Amino acid sequence: MVIKYFIQRIAFLFCFFLCHLAISQHRNEINATLDDTTKEIQITQKFTYNNTSDDGLSVLYFNDWNHAYANKNTALAKRFAEEFKRSLHLAKDKERGSTNLISIVDDAYTGLSWDRIGNRDIIRIDLASILDPGQSIQLFLTYKIRLPNSKFTSYGFNPFGEYYLKNWYLTPAVYDGEWRLYDNMNLDDLFTDVTKTTINFTYPEKLFLSTNFSDSGNTSFPGGQHVQLNGENRKNCEIILSKTKRFTKHVTRFLTVTTDMESNKYDVASQGISISKIVQFLSENLGGYPHYNLMVSELDYNKSPLYGISQLPSFIRPYEAQFQFEMKFLKTALQSFLKETLFLDPRRERWVKDAIENYLMIKYVEEYYPNQKLAGKLSRLWGFKSFHLAKMDFNEQYALLSMLSARKNIDQALTTPNDSLIKFNEKIANRYKAGLGMSYLSEYLGTKKIDSSILSFYKTHSLKPNVTALDFRKTIEQFADKEIDWFFDEYVSTRKKIDYKIKRIDKTEDSITFVIKNKRGTKVPISLFGLKKDSVVSKYWFTGIDTSRTFTIPRNNEDRLVLNYDQKIPEFNQRDNWKTLNGFFSSNKKLKFQFFKDTEDPDYNQIFYVPVANFNVYDGVTPGLRIYNKTFLERPFQYDFSPTYSFLEKTLVGRASFRYRKYHGKSGLYVSNYSFSGSTSHFQVNSRFATLTPAISFGWRPDDLISNRRQSLLVRYRSVFRDIDENIMGEIDTEPDYGVLNVRFRDIDNNILNYTSWFLDAQHSSDFTKLAFELEYRKLFESNRQLNLRFYAGKFLRNKTESDFFSFALDRPTDYMFDLNYLGRSENSGIYSQQIIIAEGGFKSRLENPFANDWIATTNASANIWRWIEAYGDLGYIKSKRQDPRFVYDSGIRLNLVTDYFELYFPVYSNRGWEIAQPDYGQRIRFIVTISPRTLIGLFTRKWF
């Protein structure tokens, strides 16, 4: 009787759970037909909304992320602009996606009013009556979606007649006391309620369908195919339609995997073995997968690939085919596994999934590939194996790449919402920091405790709605036997840096006493290792270090003490982490001269060298050697020497600089730079110049790091020394040596749609004092027309010279500060004289008397005619002492191939008349060219930082 009663109670509780689940879960029934010609999907949707909240609801909100591609003012379009991507702004209407919502009717056949919130990807539905807690309502929605071109985000249709459908139909927004309304910003973080979904999908013939849902098997009919897709406790249905049958099904004893991932250099049978191994790893570390199949697609991997060396072209891939395939598959499978089962807020609390995902990736490498190097096979190459990068283990990349943003002072807390992260942090740094943090905890608490907490968290909260990061914290705290508030309150919730050093050591025969200093005040545990000939003989953990504390440990024949030796702790600076026990002189780090830049090696003072070559018309090509100390990670103090040899002048030229950079807070005044630099080169045949410049600068930025607005203040004193050839001494009408105090404030908002920049510049020397102001504005209109405007004005407050050497110039400044990168700064004819750098007057035509030693005011404008072909015009007034003001103008055609980097100007009409009809027109064409690698690299890095 007891057993029978017990079974009845279990059955009752099970039935109660199923009934409760059925009531709480929304039901979604969709009939969808894809038209291959129009790239549109006709949808009728019956949605049963269950109010599981404690509040009565008068409105419902649905996500309509397909509409994010509809125009140039959506959140997605603005996000693209911030990342310097113009594709959506310049897209044709047929390439855009949109949603045409026809009607919404409730179960009483009452037409409901709805509207789209502003220009957002959210639809608001006004209910006819209050939906009380525990009640449900049926909605019947009829709409048509036009799919976007896949070139924007990879979702939609591609040129080959294939489709990748994700976040394509209307889904309910989450209500947890307040509505969570998130726009599509290409972050793959749709936050929607869990539903039981059935989709009757009709699609074109000769296409193969793959999906994360279970399917009933497709049926064909003349002109098309039909399939029913089913998903229980799912967020969204993904569908991939391809011309070939790319996906294969792998049935393992743990779960079924559908994937199109493959490797040309790794045979199919071995791929199956690797997939089974990874699936078993996932099951052991997370638990059972509750759905019919796990879809692992190449498309999903391409959205979030393995960054770093694995991004190299395939012909120089440094890893073995098996390792490459397994890491690629593991990363994508983990993302899909967690996304389909753990329903946290993916925009505000994504760090939890990142922590689990990257921790398990680290663990997988430790278990199966403990000796894998970050550089792979490259680490064995002659000439490269001496690099510290070649000696780094694969898992050391997590600390390296997460620290990259920290050293640049652009790191952000793990709790920062996705849409507030800069791209590098969103894609790489924050993900790696989260995984590294779990490894940090694992070392501190013990691997079994962290592994058990992850397994418990997943089993307890899998498929549960309204899971939060607090649940994750509580689970870890249950398994922890030490205090770990520091992890969530310091490591996760702030961007505070971790930085310790060993300050002093006293030793006896049986003990070692030392001081550990907390340089940043971030109270987290720090590990200490005792080493003897690079072998670990002791290990300790220390906590509660506010500023500095003294510790004593037993002596075990150590010859060196090292903080964070295994680099499990993402420490800001590891160059001061060790102390030798063998005397003062042995504690000095050895110098290491190394070809090319490397990662930071805390055991050496690294000095790098690399061949360089510069060019100007007077020195010719000047080869030389650059000597510097800058590693891949930025460091506060940097020096850079570049001595080069001028074969034309048969002498040394080059430059040198010292700089100390001090970062402050996240926003406001965030950086100070202190520098001293010098350079020397030739400005004419047998005529040399040299400059010495002490400078200090300050930088400001807003709280929103995604914003491209920056402000700076520069104060410098430039001393110029000139050694002039006797043959041209008579042509120089100023003293050869002079000094100028320069103060400049700049405000720039670098945006691909609306660019604004202005500066105020003041200069003072013994001969003159002058002020200048420049304003530049660029706008890309919705019609795809681009307008460029620039205004420049300058005034001498005093001018004791009669020379034009310090005067304002219309088209080619004399550059007495030697700031501009002229290829031939003294040329008056020939191709080098046609180089133009837009500065001061900014004119493109060469007009008579182009200088002004009193004041100048000019405006430059251009607008595109077709693509990169623009019409330009310049006009202004200039005035010299004892002369009347002169009105000047010019106009022509501009080929804006790459703005500020490569442009051509063809003058047409100016004060000189019709220039295009005048002799030697080829000599009037002007060009802008940038050959500096550092400047060109900025074109590619600006979208990340």
In a domain, 340, yes or no: no
Residue that wins the pLDDT comparison between 394 and 935: 394
Q: How does DSSP classify residue 497? A: P
Closest CA to 797 of 778, 772, 830: 772
pLDDT at 16 > cutoff 50? no
pLDDT at 650 > cutoff 80? yes
In a domain, 401, yes or no: no
Structural domains of the chain, count: 3
Mean pLDDT on 843-863: 96
Distance between CA atoms of residues 440 and 823, nearest Å: 53
Q: Where are the beta strands (DSSP E) in 403-547?
A: 500-507, 511-518, 526-532, 535-542
In a domain, 289, yes or no: no
For 154, left (φ over 0), alpha (ψ -120 to 50), or beta?
Answer: left
In a domain, 576, yes or no: yes
Residue found by looking up tokens 């919730």 in the block: 493
Q: Binning pLDDT at 50, 70 and 90, where does residue 22 land?
A: very low
Question: What CATH number does the domain containing 74 carry?
Answer: 2.60.40.1730
The 10s digit of each residue's pLDDT in 189-212 is 999 999 999 999 999 999 999 999
Q: Binning pLDDT at 50, 70 and 90, where does residue 7 land?
A: very low
Partner residues linked to 758 by β-bridges: 747, 775
pLDDT of residue 584: 55
Last residue of a domain, one of 215, 246, 277: 246
Least confident segment among 154-158, 743-747, 919-923 = 919-923
pLDDT at 384 > cutoff 70? yes
The 10s digit of each residue's pLDDT in 250-301 is 999 999 999 999 888 899 999 999 999 999 999 999 999 999 899 999 999 9
pLDDT of residue 668: 94
pLDDT of residue 440: 96
Last residue of a domain, one of 246, 265, 291: 246
pLDDT of residue 725: 84
Give yes or no for a contact between 453 and 444, defined as CB atoms under 8 angstroms apart: no
In a domain, 906, yes or no: yes
In a domain, 306, yes or no: no
Q: Binning pLDDT at 50, 70 and 90, where does residue 726 land?
A: confident
Q: Binning pLDDT at 50, 70 and 90, where does residue 4 land?
A: very low
pLDDT of residue 533: 83
Distance between CA atoms of residues 363 and 454, nearest Å: 13
Mean pLDDT on 655-677: 95
pLDDT at 141 > cutoff 70? yes
Question: What CATH number does the domain containing 540 carry?
Answer: 2.60.40.10
Q: Binning pLDDT at 50, 70 and 90, where does residue 118 land?
A: confident
Last residue of a domain, one of 567, 588, 609: 588
The 10s digit of each residue's pLDDT in 470-521 is 999 999 999 999 999 999 999 999 999 999 999 888 888 889 999 999 999 9
List phi, psi (to 5°) of 46.
-105, 115
Q: Binning pLDDT at 50, 70 and 90, where does residue 937 land?
A: low
Residue that wins the pLDDT comparison between 741 and 750: 741
pLDDT of residue 46: 97
In a domain, 456, yes or no: no
SS3 442: helix
pLDDT of residue 147: 98
pLDDT at 43 > cutoff 50? yes
Q: Binning pLDDT at 50, 70 and 90, where does residue 1 land?
A: very low
Write out the H or E segment, with its range, that includes residue 739: strand 738-749
Residue that wins the pLDDT comparison between 201 and 919: 201
Q: Binning pLDDT at 50, 70 and 90, where does residue 889 land?
A: very high
The 10s digit of each residue's pLDDT in 143-183 is 999 999 999 999 999 999 999 999 999 999 999 999 999 99
Give yes or no for a contact between 138 and 47, defined as CB atoms under 8 angstroms apart: yes
- What's the domain range around 827? 750-945
Q: Binning pLDDT at 50, 70 and 90, where does residue 9 land?
A: very low
In a domain, 702, yes or no: no
pLDDT of residue 782: 77
Q: Binning pLDDT at 50, 70 and 90, where does residue 899 land?
A: confident
pLDDT of residue 744: 98
Average pLDDT score, the chain: 91
The 10s digit of each residue's pLDDT in 341-364 is 999 999 999 999 999 999 999 999
Mean pLDDT on 792-813: 94
Cβ-defined contacts of 316-320 (< 8 Å, 24+)? 317/376, 318/375, 318/376, 318/377, 318/378, 318/379, 319/372, 319/376, 319/377, 320/376, 320/377
Distance between CA atoms of residues 270 and 800, nearest Å: 82
State if pTM tops 0.75. yes
pLDDT of residue 281: 97
pLDDT of residue 14: 40
